[in-house]
């Protein structure tokens, strides 16, 4: 995901969320940036001086968290519902499959639209659409997530 893609998706999401949440998020992002001489959300995404490089990376991760938390699911895209059970264990809404006579639990595809709406009534859910987002989710966010089947297969299956 490029910086330009992050900036564009953030703008789209900020336009669709409730105004009180948007104002709070924008002010938090701007207040953090102003401490480091960044004045304006758009300037967060301009290549920074070397001094601001590490700050920019952390800010982009924070912005990416906002994007994943508030992004809408693609209606026709299949998703898996996943959870972090511990620092290294992942749980998922599953279905049994028989392989070589042994039942194995595998992720079950869910309706992204219905599942996201249900999970958001009870707390945050992250919509994961890239391997980079999956890695950050695993290391930092560790809450309910809907991950596209392709990204799950690309990121998590090699770990098995």
Question: How far are the Cα atoms of 26, 42, 45 from residue 125, in angstroms, in the given order?
Answer: 20, 26, 25
**CA quadruple 132, 154, 144, 142: dihedral, nearest 10:** -50
Domain ranges of the chain: 3-70, 79-159
**Does residue 89 have a pLDDT over 70?**
yes
In tens, the pLDDT along 53-83 reads 666 667 777 778 888 888 888 888 899 999 9
What secondary structure letter does DSSP report for 37?
T
The DSSP call for residue 35 is T
107's enclosing H/E stretch is strand 102-107
Structure tokens that stand for 102 in this block? 């042994």
CB 31 within 8 A of CB 46: no
Distance between CA 88 and CA 69 in Å, rounded? 21
**What token pair was written down for 155?**
């990121």
State pTM to two decimals: 0.69
Average pLDDT over every residue of 28-57: 59
State the maximum Cα–Cα separation within the chain, in Å, rounded to a whole number.
Answer: 62
Interval 106-117 mean pLDDT: 90
């Amino acid at each position: 995901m490029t910086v330009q893609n992050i900036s564009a998706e953030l703008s789209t999401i900020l336009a669709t969320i409730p105004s009180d949440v948007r104002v709070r998020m924008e002010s938090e992002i701007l207040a953090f940036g102003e401490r480091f001489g960044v004045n304006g959300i758009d300037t967060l995404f301009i290549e920074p001086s070397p001094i601001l490089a590490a700050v920019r990376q952390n800010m982009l991760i924070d912005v990416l968290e906002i994007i994943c938390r508030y992004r809408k699911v693609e209606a026709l895209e299949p998703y898996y519902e996943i959870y972090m059970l511990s620092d290294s264990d992942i749980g998922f809404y599953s279905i049994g499959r028989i392989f070589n006579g042994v039942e194995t639990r595998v992720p079950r595809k869910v309706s992204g639209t219905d599942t996201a709406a249900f999970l958001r009534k009870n707390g945050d859910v992250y919509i994961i659409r890239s391997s980079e987002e999956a890695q950050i989710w695993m290391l930092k966010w560790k809450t309910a997530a809907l991950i596209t089947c392709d990204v799950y297969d690309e990121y998590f299956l090699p770990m098995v």
